[in-house]
Structure 1
Amino acid sequence: MTAHPSDPAVAAFVTAVNAGDRDAFFTTLTDDASMSDDGTDRDLAAWADREIFSSNGRMDIEDVSADGQTLTAMYTNSTWGSMRTRWTFTVTDGRISRFETGQA
C-alpha cells in the first residue's frame, strides 16, 4: 500500500512529480526554493529537468513522518532505475522552500 503525505504542499509536490507536470511542480515551491541531492546543493531547475521531467521520474511513497514533511520512497526514473530515497521538506507559508533528497 502506498502512503500519502499529510502535508498539503508535500502531497502536491508528489502528485506533480508523478504526473510529470512541471508547472504544477514549480507551483508547489517558493520563488527562492533550494534543494540538495545526496548532501550536495544543486541548481533546482536543472536538477528537476534532468532527474524528474526528462527522465520520467516517479515517487512511490513507502513511509511518511507524523508531520508529513519527511518521506521514504522508491524513486524511479529512466536514467537511474529504482532506488530507495529519503525526502525531507521545509514548508514555508504553504509552499516548499527547501527539499533534501538522497539514497535511504
Structure 2
Amino acid sequence: MPPLRLGLSVLWVESDSTLAIHCITKGGGPWHIQATLRHIRHLLALDRDTITHIFREGNQVADLLASEGWDRRYYYEYSSQDLPRRHRSLVQIDRFGLPTVRGL
C-alpha cells in the first residue's frame, strides 16, 4: 500500500542488508528483482525519505516478523491482542531501549 494512503508523508526505512540498501539507492542487483526494486524506489522519494543500515540486533522485532513472513509465504496480520509472547517481549525490550547482545 502506498505510504500516502497510510497517512505517511515521510518514511524512514531501516534494513540489516547493506546490499539491499545499495540496490535501492544506487541501482543494480539481480535482474529478476528489478521490477520490485523499481516499485520500492517509486514508493520511496529518496530526496525526502531515508533508508539506513541497522544491525539485525537493533531491530529484533522486524527481524522476527521478516523471518516469519519468509517461513509462512502468505500474508498474516497480528492485532495487538494476539501478538505472540516472544514478539511482545521483544517489543518491550525495544520500547525501553534495552541493549541486545550479538550472539557469540
Q: Which has the larger radius of gyration?
A: 2
The structure in which a higher percent of residues are helix is 2
Question: Larger strand proportion, structure 1 or 2?
Answer: 1
Fold shared, TM-score > 0.5 on shorter chain: no
Calculate the TM-score normalised by the size of structure 2.
0.26
